[in-house]
């Protein structure tokens, strides 16, 4: 490998991030966790990618009162190194 060649990170398949978190939210709901107790903490990049993802059904993503929600779970963008679902 040439030391001058930039290292490229693999790009995850389109829609996989939203699909992953929707699955985690659904699993948490089935386990009895209330939506109000959950917070989806996203990196700024992941939040931006979810906002622009055309594969997310319109009813699953909302922007009300300056707040983003995925499947009615509050989304907080920034302040984390890795995106995760906080179960409260």
Question: What digits encode the pLDDT tens for the residues 10-65?
Answer: 554 554 688 889 999 999 999 999 999 999 999 999 999 998 888 888 899 999 99
pLDDT by residue (tens digit) across 55-73? Answer: 888 899 999 999 999 999 9
Record the pTM: 0.78
Angle at 22 between CA 21 and CA 23, to 5 degrees: 85
Report d(CA 85, CA 22) in Å as an integer.
10
Are 76 and 38 spatial neighbours (Cβ–Cβ below 8 Å)?
A: no
Q: Encoding tokens for residue 1?
A: 């490998």
Comparing 68 with 9, the larger pLDDT belongs to 68
Identify the pLDDT of residue 8: 61
């Amino acid at each position: 490998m040439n030391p001058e060649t930039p290292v490229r990170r693999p790009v995850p398949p389109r829609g996989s991030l939203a699909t992953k978190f929707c699955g985690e939210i659904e699993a948490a709901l089935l386990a009895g966790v209330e939506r109000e107790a959950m917070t989806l903490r996203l990196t700024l990049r992941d939040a931006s990618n979810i906002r622009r993802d055309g594969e997310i059904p319109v009813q699953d993503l909302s922007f009300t009162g300056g707040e983003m929600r995925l499947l009615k779970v509050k989304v907080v963008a920034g302040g984390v190194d890795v995106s995760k679902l906080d179960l409260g």
